[in-house]
Chains A and B, each alone.
Chain A
Amino acid sequence: RKEVEQDPGPFNVPEGATVAFNCTYSNSASQSFFWYRQDCRKEPKLLMSVYSSGNEDGRFTAQLNRASQYISLLIRDSKLSDSATYLCVVYPGGGADGLTFGKGTHLIIQP
């Protein structure tokens, strides 16, 4: 089983719709979780950290489900500018080398 798994998509969503995608991780001891956004041929940028209690930042909501070992990202009232690849990122803990990145979910918002 891969350490961090995401549905690669693409998710084609009409503008204004709500879209959600999940990411599963294999290491139950994982300590930190993040969502990054990556535009085509650009560097990843931190979108939000994911806390145990869940957190919201404007139209974006992130949730963590430790029992089922997944994190989710919900985007409400989607904008054309939300089109990007969303990377699920996990810190495995236990003195791991660094962050583990999923391959990303490609989101396309259509007008």
Chain B
Amino acid sequence: DGGITQSPKYLFRKEGQNVTLSCEQNLNHDAMYWYRQDPGQGLRLIYYSQIVNDFQKGDIAEGYSVSREKKESFPLTVTSAQKNPTAFYLCASSRGPGGREAFFGQGTRLTVV
């Protein structure tokens, strides 16, 4: 089945550590996105990539980094510079930019302990 897979589903991090969240898609989509959702809040865009080897900062990129070495993969690293990393992280992909509908992975719930 085609889809988007995020792992792990739950992740616990100690303060000061970097962690990497995985996102893989086999939908042959060009565009991939990372969003963050806090309780009772909407989704906020962290980074997006419209094509391999290219990515752009979203609204809240500080403290995060990404790479797009393969079309299928768009990992997100939450660095120690992110002051409040506890949140629900959602990866999405779409066929391309320009307002096409996006499809989401199941999300990773990150907790700093």
Contact = CB atoms under 8 A, between A and B. Distances in A.
Interface in B43-102: 43, 45, 48, 56, 58-59, 88, 90, 97-102
Report, as a range, how many residues of chain B touch the other chain: 20 to 34
Contacts of A4: 42
B106 interface: yes
A43 B33 contact: no
A49 B103 CA distance: 13
A46 B100 CA distance: 11
Interface residues of A, number: 23
Contacts, number: 54
A86 interface: no
A31 interface: yes
A45 B107 CA distance: 12
B101 A34 contact: yes
A97 B44 CA distance: 11
Given A43-B104, A44-B43, A91 B98 contact: yes
A44 B104 contact: yes
